[in-house]
Each structure stands twice: as structure tokens, then as C-alpha cells.
Amino acid sequence: MDFDLSKNSVVTYTPLAGYTLPNLFRILAQNHFHVSPRYAARFTYSIALSTIMAPFYLRERLTYDEPIANTAITKDPIFIIGHWRCGTTYLHTILTRDPQFGYFSTYQTLIPSLFISGEKIFKPIVVKSLPNKRPMDDGDLSADLPQEDIYAMGALSPYSYYHGWCFPRNIEHYNDYVCMAHASPQTIEDWKRTYLTLLKKITMYHHGKQLVLKNQDNTGKIPQLLEMFPNAKFVYCYRNPYDLYMSMKKFITKVIPLYCVQTPPPWEDVEPTMMSLYAQMTKKYLQDKALIPVENLAEVRYESFIKQPLKTAHDLYKRFDLSGYEAVEPVLKAYLETQKSIHTDHYTFTDPIKRKIENHWGFALREYEYKAPSGKVLLE
């Protein structure tokens, strides 16, 4: 499986279109203004929309910067973390069926700079730019569904994993921002300041509700998050590394061609960055989780969650002493009924891939007691 470069005709799906104009130019400068000719239309669309948004962005800042700065986050956020393709989206969507929680919608993460005052003008653009289903699986996608806030951070700052999918020739540089392993103290403070402002903004929008936030990128930032929110709750999702490898490969090879403005390198060049990042994130989590008070951490095994999602949700309410489960349970059940038709994919699983996973991710296999599949076909 390699990248499907026929996707260069799709111009509206890239998150670059929602970047603030200063941030877009900063990201371009980091990449020496290298845009591949085949993606000229996509890049032109992105910079045109960012330019159109600029005066609205200034108006929103003038109107809301002071109220946002004065907003207090009084209820401890719930951070859903873990590597991509570990069930974080599904869990996020289930928990945010409960109206007591606030969250970022897809619209708000794609145009975070003006999602309050610009909704009437720019939300219809986001709606038209999105397919009905996520390209990597059969999950629903719409402007109003909950979304990971790393897209919002990417639109406002250089600190986003997905910058590397837009500029895949520089993917390793942006992967470094996940765990901040080589970041200066000033970079970390800049990230914290930007993220806190973003969370204050969505808290103000939701009138002070407790936030449920899904951001796989945060898996590598537990110390920084605890500095900001000492009593925050964390839900760490994990999955069989063999299954995750196949699912992540499909995810990357399908979505990078929709996001990028540079021709992606061959898969064999991208694969090592994927495997290295998983190892870095997982080891960082295993190192940092002791910093979280035991009552504020829940670990969710993907395979158990998928079999019994309602039980997982109930367990989390109990774990974190969240109120209102009995009232919201019928809503959760009704939502879960709508998800039963989602299909599974079949993958060919070769012995060389097994060996690669064992060599690079063997520590995770041992930590979470996963075994190699006996056959050559895996279910996604």
C-alpha cells in the first residue's frame, strides 16, 4: 500500500485552509516555501481562504481577547489520550453525547481563530468541504461532531503533528512537537500559552462546562498539562500494536494525499517515522503516567472497549465520580445503536511485518500483554 496521488484534485479537505495567515506563512517559511506544482490548486485555495479570514480574525480578537483572558476554567478537563487508531474518536463521541460536557466541534477545530463571530459565514464553507464519512474508516464526519483539538492548535501555531501531513517532506520536524523532546523552555511555554487560550475560548463558548478533549498529541505532554491543570482527568487508550500498525498505515496513506501540498515521500521513507513516533509516545506515557494521581487516570483497552462501549463509559463515570450517568444512559444507548453498521476491513498480514513490529514495538507487546496473530489476516 502506497500513497494514492490521484487525490491531488481534492482541494478543500486540507486543514491548511483554516490556518491564520501569519501562521500559514510561518509554516511555509519552515518548509522553505516548497509547494509541489501538482498541489498548486490546493495551496491556492488554502492561502485564499486564510487571506479572506484575516480581517474577521482581527475583529474576533478585538472583540473576544479580553473576555477569553478573563475566563476561568473551574472544572477539571478530561483529556482523552493515546496513539491514533486506538478508539479515541469513538470514546470522545460517546462521552460528549452528555450535554453536561463541552468539546470542540470539527468546525471549531478547523477555524479556531474566528469560530464565534464567523460561524454564519465560514461554517457553511467547512460543511461543504467535508465528506460524510472519514476517509480512513466508515466513521461519521460532520462540522458539528466532536473533533481533536490538535487541528485547532495547528491553525494557530507551529505545534501540530498534522503539519507533517501537510508538508510530508518535513514530517520528522513536526513529529518532534508531540513529545517536545528537543523543545526549548520558551517553545514549551509558548505551546502552553497558546493551548490555554484555546481552552479558555471553548470554555467561554460552552458557558463553563467541563471539557472533554481528545488529542492524541497530548499523550507526550502530561507534565505540561498537569502544570496547567493539576487535577485533570486522563483516559489513556491503547490497542494491540499489530492491529494498530495496519490501521495506522491505512490512515496515513489515505489521508496524507488529501492534506498535503508537497508530494509525499515513498511509504518506505514515511514508515520509520510512524514506528518511531509510536515508540516515543508510548514510552513517554509509561514514564509520565506516575505523575497523574491514581484516581485521575483510567486506561482503556481498545479490544474491550469496542466489545462493550457502554460499560466503558459507565466505568469512566464511576472512576472520575461524574454525575448524571443514569440520565444520559438512554442517549448513549441510542447513539451506539447507530454505530452497529460500521464495517470492518481485512488486511493481509505478512511475517516480515510481524517481525518489524516485534523489533520496534516489542516493549508495548510485553507491557500490555499482546500476542502475535496466528494467521495472516487481521480484522480492523
Residue 332, pLDDT > 50, answer yes
Q: Which residue has the cell 454564519?
A: 120
For residue 291, pLDDT beyond 50: yes
Per-residue model confidence (pLDDT) at position 373: 78
Share of the chain above pLDDT 90, in %: 86
How many Å apart are CA 100 and CA 240, to the nearest integer? 32
152-168 burial, b at 16+ Cβ within 10 Å, e below that, comes to bbbbbbbbbbbbbbbbb
The residue ranges of every structural domain in the chain are 5-343
Angular region, 309: left φ>0, alpha ψ -120 to 50, beta rest: alpha
Q: Which residues, in sequence order, are CB contacts of 199 under 8 Å at separation 6+?
A: 73, 77, 211, 213
The answer to whether the beta carbons of residues 57 and 210 sit under 8 Å apart is: no
**Collapsing DSSP states into helix, strand and coil, what is residue 201?**
helix
Predicted confidence (pLDDT) at residue 141 exceeds the cutoff of 80:
no
**Nearest by Cα to 180 from 230, 125, 217, 229:** 217
Q: Per-residue confidence at 376, pLDDT binned at 50, 70, 90?
A: very low
DSSP 8-state assignment for residue 6: G
Which residues partner with 211 through β-bridges? Answer: 102
Name the residue type at position 322: L
For 321-348, what is the mean pLDDT?
A: 86
Mean pLDDT of all residues in 231-241: 97
Q: Give the pLDDT of residue 89.
A: 95
The region of weakest confidence among 7-11, 101-105, 314-318, 340-344 is 340-344
Tell me: domain 5-343, CATH 3.40.140.10, correct?
no
Give me 191's grid cell.
505551546
Instruction: Mention every residue, 6+ apart, whose C-beta is less than 8 A from residue 188.
Output: 180, 224
Instruction: Write the CB contacts of 354 (distance below 8 Å, at least 6 apart in sequence).
Output: 242, 372, 373
Report the chain's mean pLDDT, rounded to a whole number.
93
Q: What per-residue confidence (pLDDT) applies to 342?
A: 65
DSSP secondary structure string for all residues of 114-137: STTTTHHHHHHHHHHHS-SB-TTS
pLDDT band at 138 (very low <50, low <70, confident <90, very high): low
pLDDT above 50 for 234? yes
CB atoms within 10 A of CB 211: 23
pLDDT in tens, 244-262: 999 999 999 999 999 999 9
pTM: 0.94
Q: Mean of the pLDDT values across residues 368-376?
A: 76
Q: Is 90 exceeded by the pLDDT of residue 4? A: no
